A and B are shown apart, each in its own frame.
Chain A
Amino acid sequence: MSEPAFEAVGLTRSYLLESVSVDALRGVDLRIDQGEFVAILGPSGSGKSTLMHLLGCLDRPTSGILRVGGVDVSTLDDTKLAELRNQMIGFVFQSFHLLARTSAIDNVALPLVYRGVSGTERRVRAREALEAVGLGHRLGHRPSQMSGGEQQRVAIARALVGDPKVVLADEPTGNLDTRNGDEVMNLLERLNADSGVAVVLVTHEPEVAARARRQVHVRDGLIERDTRIEGDTR
């Protein structure tokens, strides 16, 4: 593998809360290679969400260097950053974030809209993505007509439709029962193994994190521990 998916050096992020500066991240060094399956763990307030927002290019670091797919994000304006998100990153959120009155296939096709892909091609690719998550029979259904597990699988299809380098999943099982949560995790594992897309999970559930081959523990804005599961036979 050539470029790392993410490379962070001395990453900090501080917020102004009522004119008091709060340091959410205080110097994070992290390298995630393509094809990895990483869990970022930490208690709430540890800075793991901030780290995920930075990795997802939804936010910019206060200082330090962040390269996404080899591109230094500090050199990009908002428009270029949006294009980078569109090309490199697929998001999976805890609460799915599907457009309520839009069919599964159109929800999945949404990232391609912002890439300027034609309507016909969008539908073809969205259908393929939905079939890949086992929802080929649900193309025209709306989110309200599907179970939580199915909705999250639609969201995963949406994250994958644009062939990203990384899928960033923020508590993907947080709103699901154990069985559906397992199914979603199986799906993410399979996609990681089959297509080589890197998966970065943010979670506070040890059982979920245990499915990853690498665990990054964040506490008080710093990386506390970075462990790789032995016997990684990838």
Chain B
Amino acid sequence: MRTAEALRMALEALRVNRLRSTLTMLGVIIGVLAVVILVAIGTGAKNAVEKEIAGLGSNIILVVPGQVGLGAAPTQSRLDLSDVAYVRRVVGDPSKVTVAVNSGESVRVGRTEVFATLTGTDENLPNIFDRPLRRGRYLSATDVDTRRRVAILGAEVAGKLFGDVDPIGRQVTIAGVRFRVIGVYETVGSTFGVARDQEVHIPVTTAQRLIGLPRINGIAVGASGPDEIEPLQRRVVAALDARYPDEKFSAVTQTQLLGTIGTVLSMLTGVLAAIAGISLLVGGVGVSNIMLVSVRERTKEIGLRKALGARQRDILGQFLIEAVLLTTIGGLIGILLGVGGALLIQAVSPVPAAITWWSIALAFGVSVAVGVFFGVAPARRAGRLDPVVALRTE
């Protein structure tokens, strides 16, 4: 018997039992739908985080005191500006090293007051981080050296304080001290919940005086290329460890952040897909069950077909194709609904969704495999029926 013939017969059998076929498929449809949607959401989340990290700039190494890791106690920083100068010498290119002093402060214009993340930094920040300006200028070396009271506002801060008015040249009051606005950043979004549009940048020297401490929170180093990141990272940490033998320093790179977060999110996606996969498996059991019922119901038909010359493999093929067709059609419907669902979620909610080809291919492959796996037992039973017994069955 030809395959095309067998396929036509199987389709006919499914069409005859339309309601039952649909209900049986439903298990597979839901399973595949869940796999496609959950993987799309997981991948979407991963992509979004990776984009945030990449949005910082490229080839950045962040040097912070203490050990970085989950559960590590925050360390009181002992670094100061002399250490920045030291790192500049170690790195060799002073323009590729910048500094951060952070503090939460209120920023006021007249009666309007917003809470902002105050960051003291220097003229090298734009060499390392990707922070385009909307208006005005970056900090200059002179701003830092002379402790000027000048500020660059994050897009959100500028919007809240000034609305549509151009803030350049205007005054803001930060922690009771008046600053002149020299620039406004473009909207850049947030990274790890740090709303970078809510930052206000001032010269690091000014910030230290304002806060009243000579400390700094971290040093950022820009590597000249991806291959430079690791050696440079080791050199900087080794140099700091040598300078402070009883202290620990950590340097994190974007690649490491991406790696760690990527791994966690990939695992999460995998777990979600596995849970969805279980429902696919349950759908397969449903297919097996229905096929067994179908074999029993059609015992007489099987007997007749055998009497007319159907071989064991013809009957086996017929029922196996029916089972595979059930799960394959179910799988295709599930994929369509899953892709549609993912696009819908993307459109109506802030949850990012990214449809990946591998999840679709996997879901399809698994639904075909489920059909084969769960169809074999009923089909073999059908193929082995004794025609005499089968014909006699009422």
Contacts and interface: CB of A to CB of B under 8 A. Distances in A.
A111 B311 CA distance: 11
A112 to B, nearest CB: 9
A86 B311 CA distance: 10
A226 interface: no
B291 to A, nearest CB: 19
Interface stretch (B190-198, B301-309, B359-367): B301-309
Given A114-B314, A116-B1, A116-B2, A97 B304 contact: yes
B5 A113 contact: yes
A79 B311 contact: yes
A114 B312 contact: no
Interface string B152-168: 00000000000000000
B309 A83 contact: yes
Contact of A93 (B1, B301, B386, B391): B391
A86 B307 CA distance: 8
A78 B312 contact: yes
Interface stretch (A34-42, A53-61, A199-207): A53-61
A31 interface: no
Contacts of A59: 386-388
A119 B7 CA distance: 13
B313 interface: yes
B307 A58 contact: yes
Interface residues of B, number: 21
Contacts of B306: 58, 82, 85
B308 A78 contact: no
A79 B312 contact: yes
A99 interface: yes
A83 B310 CA distance: 8
Chain B interface mostly: helix
Contacts of B314: 82, 114
B309 A115 contact: yes
Interface in A112-129: 113-116, 119
A120 to B, nearest CB: 13
Contacts of B19: none
A228 interface: no
B300 interface: yes
Interface in B365-394: 386-388, 391
A190 interface: no
A59 B5 CA distance: 27
B16 interface: yes
A79 B313 contact: yes
A101 interface: yes
19 contacts: A56-B307, A58-B306, A58-B388, A58-B391, A78-B311, A78-B312, A82-B306, A82-B310, A85-B309, A86-B308, A87-B309, A91-B307, A91-B308, A97-B307, A97-B391, A111-B308, A113-B1, A114-B309, A114-B314
Given A58-B306, A82-B311, A91-B308, 11 more contacts: A82-B312, A83-B311, A85-B308, A97-B304, A99-B301, A101-B16, A110-B305, A114-B314, A116-B1, A116-B2, A162-B309
